[in-house]
Structure 1
Amino acid sequence: MSGRAPMQKGRPRTGARLAAVQALFQSEQAGENPEAVIEQFVRHRLGPNDAEEGVAEGRVPDADAKLFARIVRTTAKRIEEIDATLAGALAKDWPLEKLDPVLRALLRAAASELSVPGEPPAKVVINEYLDIAHGFFLGDEPRFANGVLDSLARSLRAEEFAKP
């Protein structure tokens, strides 16, 4: 993991997704209740502040708080179903637990959004999470995420990929 998060100036939906990945990571790693993590993020990490802290300092100044909370809540509520869906997209010898925890959080958040039919389009979801993956990882993880998310999207939203 590179430790640098993507810049989100003027991209509140991407900011919400970035914060959701961070919150899901924190909830899993610290064993914290997702609702408590949502509250912490809304109070202390989302939106601008007087110190002008940005993503590098752990803030997400441009984030859609409602989308952020919806992604975290939906993912937490449906975690077993999402993990089963992700497990089906991974190679048999590469279980979800073996993945880097940030990558796991990213895939869970993206899978959560892809599992809800309709807006936003699957390609938008994939592109947004790939931007985030490139912010966190310098190695093959973004390419890996792209393959998993493309497979999931084609399975969960086949109609969006059908040729007219």
Structure 2
Amino acid sequence: MSNSKSSPDKNANNAPKKANQRGAARLAAVQALYQMDIGRTSLEHTLTQFMSFYMGQEIEGDEYLPADKSYFKLVVEGVSKHQLKIDPMIDASLLEGWPVTRIDSTLRAILRGATFELLHKRDIPAKVIITEYVDIARAFFESDEPKVVNGVLNNIAHQTRQDEFTSK
């Protein structure tokens, strides 16, 4: 995830655009949720570690983009707080016999972050949230996982945000 100075994602004063900072926050949130899931690290430890050491830093040759730290924290804390509501929604949208606990940990983190946003960030259109998280899935997977993310999130969005999908 390198970020060069000639990148079109930067504005004239070389500060990343707010949308790019939010995208970087989503990616970092997925990574943090994965770490919490796999490493069984606490919410507080994970937030501190990511906000202090990863965001906007270069680590082992990888440059981590500057991220909207408050948005990162909102997503990670939100998933942690609402996971008992989020996971059953994901389960209901996955193929029978593939509960959220059985799918790949990275895929699980992507779906949890996106589902939280679909439920709690009504100021962001569902299609934007879905596109952002499908893009994150493409960064991690080359097979069918991005299609799974798209299908599951589309299903959840149609259930939770019907008003955005009905023609006027």
For the superposition of Structure 1 and Structure 2, which TM-score range results when normalised by the shorter chain?
0.7 to 0.9
Greater relative CO (CA pairs within 8 A, separation 6+) = 1
Task: Find the counterpart in structure 2 of residue 139 from structure 1.
Answer: 143
* CA deviation vs aligned residue, 1:29-68 (integer Å, no higher than 9, x gap): 1111112101100000012x4xxx27973x5322111100
Unaligned regions of 5+ residues in structure 1, if any? none
TM-score, normalised on structure 1? 0.88
Task: Find the counterpart in structure 2 of residue 157 from structure 1.
Answer: 161
Q: How many residues align?
A: 155
Q: 1:22 to 1:56 in 2, by over 3 A?
A: farther
Task: Find the counterpart in structure 2 of residue 123 from structure 1.
Answer: 127
Pairwise CA RMSD of aligned residues? Answer: 2.0
Task: Find the counterpart in structure 2 of residue 107 from structure 1.
Answer: 111
| Percentage of identical aligned residues | 37
Q: Name the stretch that deviates more: 89-98 or 65-74.
A: 89-98
In 2, Cα distance between the equivalents of 1:121 and 1:54?
Answer: 33
In 2, Cα distance between the equivalents of 1:79 and 1:41?
Answer: 20
In 1, Cα distance between the equivalents of 2:159 and 2:111?
Answer: 15
Q: 1:44 to 1:97 in 2, by over 3 A?
A: same
Residues 13 and 63 in structure 1, CA contact (< 8 A), matched pair in contact too: yes
In 1, Cα distance between the equivalents of 2:34 and 2:53?
Answer: 16
In 1, Cα distance between the equivalents of 2:60 and 2:154?
Answer: 27
Task: Find the counterpart in structure 1 of residue 23 from structure 2.
Answer: 14
Unaligned regions of 5+ residues in structure 2, if any? 10-15
In 2, Cα distance between the equivalents of 1:150 and 1:132?
Answer: 16
TM-score, normalised on structure 2? 0.86
Residues 55 and 61 in structure 1, CA contact (< 8 A), matched pair in contact too: no
In 2, Cα distance between the equivalents of 1:60 and 1:83?
Answer: 29
